[in-house]
Amino acid sequence: METLFHPRLNKKNLRITSLLLLLIGSISYAQTALNYDKYKEQYPNSQSVRLNQETVLKIGIERGQFVISKESIEEDLYLYESAKYDAKQSLNYSSFYELDKIEASSFIVKDNKYEELKVSDFKDKDELDGSFYDDVKSINFIFPSLGKGAKTKLNYKQTIKNPRFLSAFYFGSFYPIENNKFTIVSDKNVHLRFEKINMEGISVEFTEKKTRKQNIYTWQIKNTDEFKYEDKAPDYKNILPHIIPIIVSYEQDGETIKLLENVSNLYEWYFSLVKDLNKEIPPKELVQLVESLIADKENELEKVRAIYYWTQENVKYIAFEYALGGFVPREANEVFYKKYGDCKDNSSLLLKMLNIAGIEGNLTWIGTRSIPYSYNDVPTPSADNHMILHYEYQGKSYFLDATGRYNPIEIPSSFIQGKEALVSVGQDSFMIKKVPIIDPSKNWYKDNAIIELDGTNLKGKSKSELSGYGKMDFFYNLEKKETKTELLQLYNSVFRKGNNSFLIDKFQETNKYSYDNDFIVDYDFNIPNYVKVLGDEIYVNMNLSKTIVSNIKTDKKRQVPLEHDYLDSVQYHYVLNIPDGYEVDYLPEGVDITSQYFDSSIYYKLKGNQIIYKHNFRLNALVFDSEAQKVVNQLVKKVERQYKEVVVLKKK
């Protein structure tokens, strides 16, 4: 798992850094507040400016052991009074990244000069986030008296204990950076490679200098404007330009030792951490449980299904690790008795239970969709942050992730769709499998209703059905509702039709919390004052759900891609009973749109004394880049115009 050193990108993940004392330049704190006016004019929409950021990474080998340190300095200027909300900062550290030193100061304008206020109170705190190594702690502190025109200076130093965990260096952020410099000083006998990510069109000055004992690599970029981050954007790793330094190999005693030249080297290390897993004899209770779960199952897949669903239901996901324990799964026996664990522990128990059933499973490392790297490009722990179990049946791969609930065996967790999986086969053998992106036909919402007019009210009976990821998400919300009133509030919100006056009178649930069957809710509903009556004419808008395209519509000023959790499809099928004494005076034509991004159609048909309305939607792409958003927005306008169309009924 990658550890990122950047205190202001993200409160939880991006504040892990290194420390102090670089032989680097520093801004002059004798400058007056005129400096503030300059930057306020230059960056009118920015809350702050990073005036200087310099990092030096030193890589050496002493007595056959790597000695790696990182030293950094960060200096910021705050342009608004809202700076006080950024006063609370933190730096993370762990057994892999030791935080050796930290110094922090605020500089407050007083008598047209800056007065230094040093931070003296640093507090340790445990951090329990992450899937792999969660012995992470943070040092928390507060920059004093921050306000408009204030500056901060942060120096920090870190020792990197494992050469496989060199972190990425970012050439931009979500605030402007005046000067950004990254230097690597490496012993001659250490061979490096630098993987470039999102660097297209980025003008970085690179220099390489060789001395008798060292190689010195320097990257520098100046006057970088802020990158935009907006709602539903991909993870920052998909947006910000950065490089990942990789130690390919090193020389020792005349021999070249490969470290991370390719995926085989990474797998060799991973396998060394799990090769002795589950050597203990399983307890009688676990064996009996497995035997009871697989009894009378018609084939091997159904046996695996029963075991998989049991672990989802009965093993709680809790992540708390220390050192290499973050990469080494716990023994299955321990997980079974405790009934909790992280992703590795769940995979360990699944592996053992399949083994007891005489079925082969494979431990599998995988990165979530927040990580844009392939194993071949980045054969380091930065490429993954999760562990699951791989199972193959009749030539088809199944990716079992028991950290959640309600996941059918045929559908992988949504956050690993499209990702590479590193599947362990044996000591010297592995596979790289691609997790499929689940077709929208597997993730659908169907809403069928018979509706009729009651004066200006619209009344009906509806059947709403959910499958796939939408059903899983719904179940997570559903399990928090304990009373009928809470359920009604949820259903009124989720199944809303027409307007906010929509009310469900009564409901019946089918297949609640089922893993494999579609969830169905039958209900009666009423929408007061929805219908317009003018003289002999009745106006009914049969587009009862008009928000279907709102999730794919974007502001024209948006600069970053739009990412969806999964592909899905929606089907609305409404039948309106025409009141006695009325006939159809106007029926809208509808619309039919097909594109690589989404399909949408609206269809009306008169059949006897009924009007049949169908509205279908299908999402075809997980990510919309800037060009795709322009196309999608134009297509959405066509659908939205149809939303305004009404059926007109007239007295005979």
Over residues 420-433, the mean pLDDT reads 97
pLDDT at 324: 56
pLDDT reported for residue 125: 75
- Is 0.85 topped by the overall pTM? yes
Check pLDDT > 90 for residue 618. Answer: yes
* Token pair for 617: 């939607």
pLDDT surpassing 80 at residue 132:
no
| Whole-number pLDDT of residue 15 | 33
Is a pLDDT exceeding 90 seen at residue 326? no
pLDDT-derived band at 131 (thresholds 50, 70, 90) equals very low
Q: Is 34-258 a domain of CATH 2.60.40.3140?
A: yes
Burial of 644 (0-12, 13-18, 19+ CB in 10 A): exposed
- One-letter amino acid at 504 equals I
Q: In which residue ranges of the chain is CATH 3.10.620.30 found?
A: 273-434
Q: What is the pLDDT of residue 133?
A: 43
d(CA 286, CA 282): 6
Closest CA to 237 of 570, 615, 638, 561: 561
Instruction: Taking the CA atoms of 616, 620, 622 and 628 in sequence, report the sign of the dihedral they define.
Output: negative
More confident residue, 323 or 170: 170
The more confident residue out of 93 and 530 is: 530
- Chain-centroid distance of CA 262 in Å reads 26
Q: What is the percent of the chain where pLDDT is above 90?
A: 83
The sign of the dihedral angle between the CA atoms of 629, 635, 636, 641 is: positive
Angle at 491 between CA 489 and CA 492, to 5 degrees: 65
Q: Residues of CATH 2.60.40.3140 domain(s) within the chain?
A: 34-258
Q: Give the per-residue pLDDT at 317.
A: 85
pLDDT of 197 above 90: yes
Structure tokens at 612: 């049949």
Per-residue pLDDT tens digits for 19-44 = 333 334 444 444 545 578 889 999 99
Res 400 pLDDT > 90: yes
Q: Domain 273-434 belongs to what architecture?
A: Roll (3.10)
pLDDT tens for 477-513 read 999 998 889 999 999 999 999 999 999 989 999 999 9
pLDDT score of 175 more than 60: yes
Rounded to the nearest integer, the mean pLDDT of the chain is 91
Which architecture does CATH list for 441-651?
Sandwich (2.60)
pLDDT tens digits, one per residue of 433-454: 999 999 999 999 999 999 999 9
For the cut 90, the answer to whether the pLDDT of residue 366 exceeds it is: yes
pLDDT higher than threshold 80 for residue 240 = yes
SS3 31: coil
- DSSP for 271-306? HHHHTTTT-SPPPHHHHHHHHHHHTT-SSHHHHHHH
325 versus 552: the higher-pLDDT residue is 552
In the predicted model, is pLDDT for residue 247 greater than 70? yes
User: Is pLDDT at 103 greater than 90 in this prediction?
Assistant: yes
pLDDT of 64 reads 86
- Contact assessment for residue 154 and residue 67, using Cβ atoms and an 8 Å cutoff: no
State how far the Cα of 156 lies from the Cα of 71, in Å rounded to an integer. Answer: 6
Output the pLDDT for position 285. 97
Q: Using an 8 Å Cβ cutoff, are 72 and 5 in contact?
A: yes
High-pLDDT (> 70) share of the chain, % = 92
Let me know: does 6 contact 17? Beta carbons within 8 Å. Answer: yes
How large is the average pLDDT for residues 97-106? 93
Confidence (pLDDT) at 276: 94
Q: How far is CA 85 from CA 81, 138, 144, 146, in A?
A: 9, 19, 11, 9
pLDDT of 323 reads 52
Nearby residues of 101 by Cβ (< 8 Å), 6 or more positions away: 19, 20, 21, 155, 156, 157
**pLDDT of 265 above 80:** yes
Give the span between the Cα atoms of 101 and 124, in whole angstroms.
13
Mean pLDDT, rounded, for 612-638 = 97
Query: Is residue 645 over pLDDT 50?
Result: yes
Split at pLDDT 50, 70, 90, the class of 97 is confident
What contacts 371, CB < 8 A, 6 or more positions away?
2, 235, 237, 382, 383, 384, 385, 419
- The mean per-residue pLDDT over the stretch 346-355 comes to 97
List, by residue range, all CATH 2.60.120.1130 domains of the chain. Answer: 441-651
Residue 83 to residue 77: CA distance in whole angstroms: 9
Distance CA 151, CA 106 (A): 6
Helix axis angle for 284-294 and 300-314, nearest 10°, is 130
